[in-house]
């Protein structure tokens, strides 16, 4: 068991090293800006007004993915009025810094991981990118484990109806059977992982 675990760790390290380098932000510099974000992302169960779903958890999320998401809102490739307003005036440097800050706080349970006794066979189609336990293996891909169920459900439907576009994930979402969308959202939300970010 130990040998298997360390082999997996080595494989993981090799995968991480092979990845395109994300410009590392300065977490300390992103702290002040990050406080404004916690007005929504730091409140347990805080909801988006309409449609009503919970604001995504960012604690333990991958910094590289946070950067991609923020640039998407800023540049208009990802639609959401509130988040577009938040991101519109941010420079690339500020995005890197605030992403590094947000990724650096919370998320202890991401390190722990674990399936919590839950399983769903259809999730096998997702593990290559989102990880065995819903914890992504690439800095540019989101961790799903522990994310709010209603947020995941909404995100999957957005890829499916084209309101949210991504060359990789849109194709994946199109392959999901209608009746499995809610089940996948439920499955990933129940895994040990992301947390609501709290200021230190
Ligand atoms: C007024 C509430 C509010 C504030 C303030 C806010 N956000 Fe958000 N944020 C949201 C909502 C709602 C969503 C979900 C939008 C969607 O469905 O695409 C979101 C989504 C995100 C996402 C995408 C997460 C994912 O899993 O794809 C990131 C990254 C993010 N916010 C970062 C920030 C940062 C950084 C700040 C501060 C500069 C910030 N937010 C401030 C409400 C807020
Ligand atoms: C080939 C790699 C790949 C596979 C396989 C894959 N995804 Fe994704 N997924 C991605 C990428 C890349 C993103 C980020 C796209 C973006 O920026 O919008 C993503 C984003 C998501 C999001 C949005 C997360 C957030 O925080 O907003 C959800 C939900 C999701 N995937 C669920 C799934 C499910 C469920 C499956 C299996 C049925 C799956 N994915 C299979 C690569 C993949």
For residue 112 the two structure tokens come to 């722990």
Q: Write down the pLDDT at residue 24.
A: 79
Q: Write down the pLDDT at residue 110.
A: 74
For residue 134 the two structure tokens come to 């819903």
Binding-site residues, ligand 2, Cβ < 6 A: 56, 68, 125-126, 128-130, 141-142, 144, 152, 155-156, 166, 168-169, 172, 176, 184
Q: Write down the pLDDT at residue 147.
A: 96
Q: Name residues of the chain where pLDDT drops below 50.
A: 1-5, 7, 9-20
Question: Do residues 141 and 129 make contact, with C-beta atoms less than 8 angstroms apart?
Answer: yes
Phi, psi of 11 (to 5 degrees): -60, -40
Q: Write down the pLDDT at residue 137.
A: 87
142: closest CA among 150, 151, 132, 131? Answer: 131
60: closest CA among 75, 41, 83? Answer: 41
**What's the rounded Cα separation, in Å, for the pair 134 and 14?**
19
Q: Write down the pLDDT at residue 51.
A: 83
Q: Atom 10 (ligand 2): residue with closest C-alpha? A: 169
Mutation pick for ligand 1 pocket among 30, 51, 86 (CB with most ligand atoms within 8 Å): 86
**What's the rounded Cα separation, in Å, for the pair 93 and 116?**
38
Question: Do residues 41 and 196 make contact, with C-beta atoms less than 8 angstroms apart?
Answer: yes
Query: Residue 49 C-alpha to ligand 2 middle, in angstroms?
Result: 24
């Amino acid at each position: 068991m130990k040998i298997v675990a360390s082999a997996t760790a080595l494989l993981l390290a090799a995968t991480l090293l092979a990845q395109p380098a994300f410009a590392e932000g300065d977490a300390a510099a992103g702290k002040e800006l990050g406080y404004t974000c916690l007005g929504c992302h730091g409140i347990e169960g805080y909801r988006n007004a309409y449609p009503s779903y919970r604001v995504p958890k960012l604690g333990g999320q991958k910094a590289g993915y946070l950067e991609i998401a923020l640039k998407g809102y800023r540049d208009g490739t990802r639609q959401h009025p509130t988040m577009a307003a938040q991101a519109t005036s941010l420079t690339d440097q500020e995005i890197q810094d605030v992403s590094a800050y947000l990724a650096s706080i919370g998320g202890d349970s991401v390190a722990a991981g674990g399936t919590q006794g839950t399983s769903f066979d259809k999730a096998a189609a997702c593990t290559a990118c989102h990880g065995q336990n819903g914890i992504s293996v690439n800095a540019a891909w989101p961790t799903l484990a522990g994310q709010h169920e209603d947020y995941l459900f909404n995100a999957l439907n957005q890829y499916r109806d084209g309101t949210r576009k991504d060359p990789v994930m849109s194709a994946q979402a199109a392959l999901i059977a209608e009746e499995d969308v809610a089940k996948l959202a439920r499955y990933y939300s129940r895994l040990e992982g992301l947390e609501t970010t709290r200021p230190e």
